[in-house]
Amino acid sequence: MTAPSTMGPVQQAMYGVLTGDAALMGLVTGVWDYVAEKDAFPYIVIGEATEIPDNHHGGFGRQTTVTLHVWTRHRGHSKGLAIGARVTALLDHRPLTIEGLDHVVTRFEFSQTLTDPEPPGDIRHLVLRYRVVTEQPT
- Beta carbons within 10 angstroms of residue 58's beta carbon: 6
Residue 71: which of 102, 11, 29, 109 has the closest Cα? 29
| Ranges of residues in the chain whose predicted pLDDT is under 50 | 1
Q: Show the domains of the chain with their CATH numbers.
A: 7-135 (3.30.2000.30)
Strands 61-73 and 123-135: antiparallel
Whole-number Å distance between alpha carbons of 125 and 115 = 6
Whole-number Å distance between alpha carbons of 36 and 42 = 13
Q: What is the pLDDT of residue 115?
A: 93
Q: What is the pLDDT of residue 2?
A: 56
Q: What is the pLDDT of residue 102?
A: 95
Strands 102-115 and 61-73: unpaired
Whole-number Å distance between alpha carbons of 77 and 115 = 9
pLDDT tens across 42-66, in order?
A: 999 999 999 999 988 888 999 999 9
Q: What is the pLDDT of residue 3?
A: 59
Cβ–Cβ < 8 Å for 59, 138: yes
Cβ–Cβ < 8 Å for 68, 46: yes
Whole-number Å distance between alpha carbons of 87 and 91 = 6
